[in-house]
Amino acid sequence: MQSLFNDSVTILGLLGALVILILTAFVVSTYLNKMKHSKADGVLTQEEWDGIKEFKNDLPIGWAAIFLCVIIWALWYMLIGYPLNAYSQIGEYNREVNSYNKNFEAKWVNLSDTELTVMGDNIFQVQCSQCHGIDKSGIDGKAANLNDWGRKEQIVNVILNGSKGMNFLAGEMIPIAVSKEEAQAIADFVMAEISNAKVSGDAQSIAKGKELFAINCTACHGVDGKGIEGMPDFAPDLSKYGTYEFLQIVLSKGKNGHIGKMPSFDYVNFNEVQEKALNNFILSNE
Distances (CA, A) of 27 to 35, 55, 81, 131: 12, 22, 40, 70
Comparing CB distances to ligand HEC, the nearer of 78 and 268 is 268
Residues 183-242 that bind ligand HEC (CB under 6 A): 186, 190, 216-217, 219-221, 235-236, 238, 241
By the 8 A CB rule, do 221 and 238 touch?
yes
Comparing CB distances to ligand HEC, the nearer of 12 and 219 is 219
Comparing CB distances to ligand HEC, the nearer of 111 and 160 is 160
Shortest Å distance, C-beta 6 to ligand HEC = 56
Q: Could you give the CA distance from residue 11 to residue 133 in angstroms, rounded to a whole number?
A: 61
Contact map string, positions 238 to 267, toward ligand HEC, x by CB under 6 A: x--x-----x--x----x-xxxxxxx-x--
Q: Could you give the CA distance from residue 182 to residue 208 in angstroms, rounded to a whole number?
A: 8
Residues 107-136 that bind ligand HEC (CB under 6 A): 127-128, 130-132
Comparing CB distances to ligand HEC, the nearer of 91 and 175 is 175
- Of 109, 268, 246, the closest CA to residue 168 belongs to 246
Out of 116, 117, 119, 146, the residue judged to bind ligand HEC by CB under 6 A: 146
| Cα 86 from chain centroid (whole Å) | 33
∠ CA 240-242-248 to the nearest 5 degrees?
Answer: 60
**Residue 70, class by beta-carbon neighbours within 10 Å (0-12 exposed, 13-18 middle, 19+ buried)?**
exposed
Binding residues (CB under 6 A) for ligand HEC: these are 127-128, 130-132, 143-144, 146, 149, 155, 158-159, 163-166, 168, 170-171, 173, 176, 186, 190, 216-217, 219-221, 235-236, 238, 241, 247, 250, 255, 257-263, 265, 278
